[in-house]
Structure 1
């Protein structure tokens, strides 16, 4: 496996974690967006990732797995129904709907995504150090 392949793998992981962080930010931004009907209420979203294995060539044919974002899907968890007859957005039954966003779970997921991103930045840094070491060996 070449250093270039390692950089591609880490880059794909960083891109996937960026999508994950953007999705989390959207969920948190809409966590308190109330609506008078279910159809117009924000639904939490989650990215769907898939592994893309190597191309089957080289010394290690199964090495080189990247990450691909297949889709960003809406959560199927139920929305929160709250009886708020004084709310101007309440329906005729006095009910408003809140998104199915759990801010605590989103914050936990955000920390995980951030750590995963940082890990791949560290991988790229290590690859750079290894490449520089090889260049120094070539000079001697």
Structure 2
């Protein structure tokens, strides 16, 4: 396996985790938003990571293919897509609010702050792990160059 593959794998992982951080922050920032500039209420988002290549391939198959086949591995790297979640709005009783309905309820976006904070912390730790893996690969590549002279 070429050591540059490890850089590409770590970079793809960091890209996915960066997207997860951005989406979690966006959801937290809009948790109390009633409506946007377009007049619609905020719809919480979620990140879905998929491989661009074969989705049905097992982990064992991907590892063996990566070890034995020097072909293009980039089709199996994760790619993040941002999709609207199907979280139902949170109903809060505030009868004096100008956006309250006839029963006195306001519909806030269905953002769970605890879930978003856990997602944020998990993404940050995963990003840090990918940075550590990239640094380890860089160190090993430099050591191999030193040994090879």
Give the TM bin, normalised by the shorter chain. Answer: 0.7 to 0.9
Q: Does 1:79 align with 2:89?
A: yes
- Residue ranges of structure 1 left out of the alignment (5+ in a row): none
Say which SS state the counterpart of residue 40 (structure 1) adopts.
Answer: coil
1:1-140 aligned at under 5 Å gives the runs: 1-35=1-35, 40-52=40-52, 59-60=68-69, 64=73, 65-69=76-80, 71-139=81-149
Q: Distance in 2 between matches of 1:94 and 1:133?
A: 68
Say which SS state the counterpart of residue 68 (structure 1) adopts.
Answer: strand
Which deviates more from structure 2 when the two are superposed, residues 74-83 or residues 90-99?
A: 90-99
Q: Distance in 1 between matches of 2:77 and 2:96?
A: 51
Q: Distance in 2 between matches of 1:91 and 1:40?
A: 15
Say which SS state the counterpart of residue 68 (structure 2) adopts.
Answer: coil
- Residue ranges of structure 2 left out of the alignment (5+ in a row): 54-61
Say which SS state the counterpart of residue 10 (structure 2) adopts.
Answer: helix
Q: Distance in 2 between matches of 1:57 and 1:13?
A: 17
Give the total of aligned pairs: 134
Q: Distance in 2 between matches of 1:42 and 1:51?
A: 28
TM-score by length of 1: 0.84
TM-score by length of 2: 0.79
Which deviates more from structure 2 when the two are superposed, residues 77-86 or residues 104-113?
A: 77-86
Say which SS state the counterpart of residue 135 (structure 1) adopts.
Answer: helix
Q: Distance in 2 between matches of 1:132 and 1:61?
A: 22
Structure 1 residues 57 and 17: alpha-carbon distance in aligned structure 2, compared to 1, 3 A threshold = closer
**CA RMSD, 1 decimal:** 2.4
